[in-house]
Amino acid sequence: MAQELATLTQQTADRLAEQHVGVVVAAVADDVVEIRGAGTTGTNHRRVPGPDTLFEIGSVTKVFTALALAHLASVGTVSLDEPLGDLLPAGTAVPSRAGQPISLQHLATHTSGLPRLPKGMLLQALLRPSKPDPYADCTADVLLSGLAGTRLGATPGKRFRYSNLGAGLLGLALARQAGTEYETLITHGICAPLGMTDTVVTVDATRSERSAQGHVRRGRPAAPWHLADLAGAGGLHSTATDLVAFVRAQLDGGPAGLAEAIRLSRAVEYRRSPFARVHLGWMAHRLHPRQGAHLQIWHNGGTGGFASFVGFDPEKRLAVIALGNTRRPVDGPAFDLLRTLQAERAATSN
């Protein structure tokens, strides 16, 4: 199995490298892990990216934010149905609809009714389409003051509507409740128990030497993104090594301090259709029976110069991670690899 897994992982990396400056792909099958890179980091040394190369992971950050919610809920610091307004500064105007306030669970399942972007950001994007870092001005003051004029597109809890604003507000509110900043909330509460040492918001000088350079689709270097106080929506950097540790916890149940949080994060669900649902942070679907009826739990991400994917099957204990340093999705080949591993596992178990 190990040799076949290595071959499939390298093939996926090579396939992705045809349209990305550089990529790293990781595959997990039970206790076997393979990590393969292709292309280059895009930096001056132009190395092949590897297990410890740092990438911006964009919206994969959201599953960390949601797990932080589950963790704080499991120890009684917050409750899932707690209104967002209870965790924000006094006097903050938080929109509601039909008498239903936005809860923390609504934010983590994208059912808050909030729009995708903070108020005024779409207009700024139209006026300044070449702005290299569109979220840099999303400070707490800007985000919270904008809430007063934000209208909900649906009653909270009634409809799925993907929202970077909602995830960012969740990270901001949880950090405030915990008396810390978002990065510390994640590194201490989530990463430390899992032995993840390279999942950070701020890349220091030492890690910078191991960081990939982001690129736009045409291969030109892209400026890094700094999401300010919207970091909970997409501000983390990470490595394949760290993300393998993260998905291993999802497959194995995690250490004692996080096991209940991991269980809770997947126990909560909002059904989008007979086949698709949303957990706390994670997207999930079950393939059609003609495709094997396999379960896939996943999230992807993208920033100005990076793309990411993390997906796993807890029933068959399989996982796939793909990280690219080009603004082009990595989802297709990553899903293909996960489906291949699922099909092979099903064939060998019959």
What secondary structure does DSSP assign to 285-344, as a single string?
EE--GGGT--EEEEEEEE-SS-EEEEEEETTTTEEEEEEESSSS--HHHHHHHHHHHHHH
Of 297, 186, 279, nearest to 231 by C-alpha is 186
Q: Is 208 helix (H, G, I), strand (E, B) or coil?
A: helix
**pLDDT recorded at residue 126:** 45
- Would you kindly state where each structural domain of the chain is located, as residue ranges? 2-76+181-349
Structure tokens at 200: 């950070």
Q: Cite the beta strand spans of the chain per DSSP E.
A: 22-29, 32-39, 55-56, 237-238, 270-271, 276-278, 283-286, 295-302, 307-313, 318-324
**pLDDT recorded at residue 1:** 66
The answer to whether 270 touches 109, Cβ cutoff 8 Å, is: yes
What secondary structure does DSSP assign to 148-173, as a single string?
TTPPPSS-TTS-----HHHHHHHHHH
Q: How many residues does the chain have?
A: 350
**pLDDT recorded at residue 2:** 73
Of 225, 232, 255, 243, nearest to 183 by C-alpha is 232
- Tell whether pTM > 0.95: yes
> Which positions ≥6 away from 288 have C-beta within 8 Å?
275
Q: What are phi and psi of 156, to 5 degrees?
A: -50, 130
**pLDDT recorded at residue 300:** 98
Q: Rg of the chain over CA atoms, in angstroms?
A: 19
- Quote the distance between the C-alpha of residue 199 and its chain's center: 12
Question: Chunked in runs of 10, what are the mean pLDDT values of the chain (350 residues)?
Answer: 90 97 97 97 89 98 98 98 97 96 98 93 58 87 94 97 98 98 98 98 95 91 95 98 98 96 98 95 95 96 97 98 97 98 88
**pLDDT recorded at residue 227:** 95
The answer to whether 85 touches 101, Cβ cutoff 8 Å, is: yes
Q: Which CATH number fits domain 2-76+181-349: 3.30.470.160, 3.90.1260.10, 3.40.50.1100, 3.40.710.10?
A: 3.40.710.10
Structure tokens at 270: 């909002």
Q: Which residues does residue 22 pair with via DSSP β-bridges, in sequence order?
A: 39
Q: Which residues does residue 334 pair with via DSSP β-bridges, in sequence order?
A: none
